[in-house]
Structures are given as C-alpha cells and as structure tokens.
Amino acid sequence: MLKQCRAIMERELFYMWRDKSLRHILLIGPLLGMLLFAGVYSYQRLGDISTGVVDLDKSSASRQVVTELKNTQNLQVVAYFDSFAELEESIKRGEVIVGVVIPDNYGQDVALQRQTKVAVMIDGMNMAYATNASSAVLTITRTLGAQVGIQTLIAQGIQANQAQEAYQSIAFPEEAWFNPTLNYAYFMVLGLALNVWQQCLTLASCMTVIGENGLRSWLQIKVSGISSFKLFFCKSLVHIGVFMLAVLPLYFLAFVVFKLPLACGWPGLLLFTFLFTITLHSLGTMMSSLGRNAVNASRYGMIIALPAFVISGYTWPLEAMPHWLQSAAWVLPQTWFFQGVNYLTFKNPGWGFMSHYYLALGLMAVLFYSVAALRLILSDVSPKGGLM
C-alpha cells in the first residue's frame, strides 16, 4: 500500500512539474504579486498631497493659514490661484487634490471676533487621497481654532497662560494601536499577495479530479487496482504540500525582508495557513468533481476565487456591506482566512478567539471533500475525462 501511495505521489509531482504553465502559476505568480504590491505600497503612507490656495484677503491672518498648510505633514502647497474658477479647473485636471479658498476680510473678521469661513475643496475621486487630506485639514482647523480662541481670551483681558490652559483643559490624544504609523504596506501588501496565491491554489485544485482525463493513464490506474479514494487522497497530499511550499517564499519576503508585523509567530501562522490550504483544496476538489470538463471546473473555481477576496472584509468592512452579502461571505473559506490572518498578524488574540476560525475551516473541508467523494461514488470517471 505504501509503495502504491508513493508511486502515485511521485507521479503527481512529475505531472505538476512537467506542466510549465501550472509550475509558473504556483511558483512565480504569487512571488511576482508580492514584489509588485510591495513596490506599490513602498511609501507606506500618503504624504505631500498637492494643495492649491486662493488667498483673497492677503492679510497677516491669511498668511498664517497658508503657513499652517505648508507645515502640515501630509499636505504640500504647490500652486497659488487668483480666483476660485482657476482652482476649480486645476482640481478637474488633477493638478491639485486639495483646494483652500481664504475669503475677503478674513483677517478683519478674525480680529473683530466674527465668524468666518475658509472653504476647503477635496477631490473625492481617489478615496485614499481624500481620506488623508480630510484628516490633515481637520488638524489645521483645530490648530487655527485654538489659536483664534486663545487670542480672543487674551483680548478680553485674560492672562496668556490662563487662556492657553482654557483651551487645553480637555485633550483628546490620538493613539493608533497595532499599526501606530498607519502604514498602508502593513495592511495591504500581504493580503493582496495572499489573494494571488489563493487564486492560483484554487485553479490548481480544480484539476484534482477532472485532471485524470487521459485514456492511457486512467486505464493504467484501473489495471493496477488502485482505488479512487487512494488515488485522490495521495494526489491531495501532494497538492497541499506544494501549495504550502508556494506560500513560504511569500511569508519570508513579507515578514523577514519587508518586516511586516507578525504578532502570532511563525507556528500559529503556518498552522492556520495549512488548515486554509486544506479547506481551499477541498473546495477546488468539489468543483473538479462537479465539472464536466477541465474548462468548466476551472470556471467554477474562478467564479468563487475572484470575488471572494473582495467580499472577505479585508479591504472593506463586512459590517458596511448588505446583510445578505455578509451572510454569503461567511460561507466562503477565504473570508475566514483573510479575517483570521489579519487578527493573527496584527493582534494575536489567542486560541479562545481564533478557535471558531479553525473550526469553521475544518467543517468546510469535511463538507467539501464529502460532496466530492459522494460525487465520485455516484459517478464513474470516464476515460475521456467527464463524469458519467
């Protein structure tokens, strides 16, 4: 029995290595994805967002506003305009992302303690830019508001230190946990690279059953007396082992070369990844057993693999999706994996929290393999590759 299993596994390794397209997909595809995404997010966070200014007041108070804009970390004043129309046209052409219009009599209104408004326009076409720009502008408004308030109190005869204490009596210090620098690379690079890996894994898994479509090889297997269960069990062991080997270079680049955070340590991450690999292979095997040919099986797998990352809640919160879509997302193993990887790498919440992630993936694997086995029992694999 052991000799038969060894022969099957050697045969499967030979076929996988001989298939150049599959070999390149598994070995090169995920690595290229990792390097590509690491390059895209190499700056780690957005800064120097181009900003245009229209100063209609040209007073010392308005110049103070411009100075605050220049001193803000995420903004860079790149242009000055004489009118709102010029600023609007520049934003339309994508030359500036943020536009600031300081109105007439701004300095006078501030001096007389009258309410005044500084118009801020943000190009919302790119949400990453818009979110960072809004945060930077909010910081400026808080600073300027406090300065004007302190000056007002001083003008009313209050001592400077007392005026400053009045505006600093309640502080709201911000502290980002688990990703203190709000680094985009920490959050996006690994997830996007693993998405490429899981798509490659799904594509290869969809050939587990339907791939046995060669007349000569199938007749040889039948003559040898090897059972279908033993054949596909040994094939699955090889596939899962190869898939795990394919993810190791990704993790090495992510956590050793690019220094991404890994709170749970290597054993926890590899164990969770191993379980997901089994589960996703079981899903691909089920698709393979249901497909009438290799093309259909691949299509079934890709229909699931391509949108699975989008609705997994990794890049957009699940809570912000429609309820029916949230329910559908938790049926897919990718949702459990990407959510779990996020927790493990950033927080490591412990076994008590992660146990239901392991349990869900394990139950899915049992279910998908059971469906595939039932399909094989009810149908014979034809010499031409279809399921009768």
Per the CB < 8 A criterion, the answer to whether 82 and 63 are in contact is no
pLDDT of 291 > 60? The answer is yes
Domain ranges of the chain: 2-41+183-378, 49-167
DSSP string, 108-119: HHHHTT-----E
More confident residue, 306 or 266: 266
SS3 of 352-364: HHHHHHHHHHHHH
Residue 99: strand pairing partners: 52, 121
Structure confidence at residue 275 as a pLDDT band (50, 70, 90): very high
* pLDDT of 290: 85
Task: State pLDDT tens for residues 115-168.
Answer: 788 888 888 887 677 878 888 888 777 777 666 666 666 666 676 676 666 655
List of E strands, 112-271:
119-122
List C-alpha distances in Å: 167 to 109, 135, 136, 151, 154: 21, 21, 20, 11, 12
Structure confidence at residue 55 as a pLDDT band (50, 70, 90): very high
Question: Please, what is the end-to-end C-alpha distance for the chain in angstroms?
Answer: 28
* pLDDT of 17: 62
Residue 80: strand pairing partners: 53
All residues at 6 or more sequence positions from 140 whose CB lies less than 8 Å from its CB, including other chains = 65, 68, 69, 72
More confident residue, 134 or 214: 134
- Helix (H, G, I), strand (E, B), or coil: what is residue 168? coil
Task: Provide the angle, in degrees to the nearest 10, between the axes of the packed helices 351-378 and 228-252.
Answer: 140
State the CB neighbour count (10 A cutoff) for residue 8.
Answer: 21
Structure confidence at residue 205 as a pLDDT band (50, 70, 90): confident
Pair type for strands 98-102 and 49-55: parallel
Structure confidence at residue 368 as a pLDDT band (50, 70, 90): very high
Look up residue 282 and give its two tokens.
């079981």
Q: Which residue's structure tokens are 């045969």?
A: 11
Look up residue 11 and give its two tokens.
């045969």
Look up residue 332 and give its two tokens.
């897919």
* pLDDT of 10: 67
Is the domain covering 49-167 a CATH 3.40.1710.10 domain? yes
- Mean pLDDT score of the chain: 81
Q: Which of 34-48, 277-291, 320-334 has the lowest mean pLDDT?
A: 34-48
For the entire predicted model, the pTM comes to 0.77
More confident residue, 119 or 251: 251
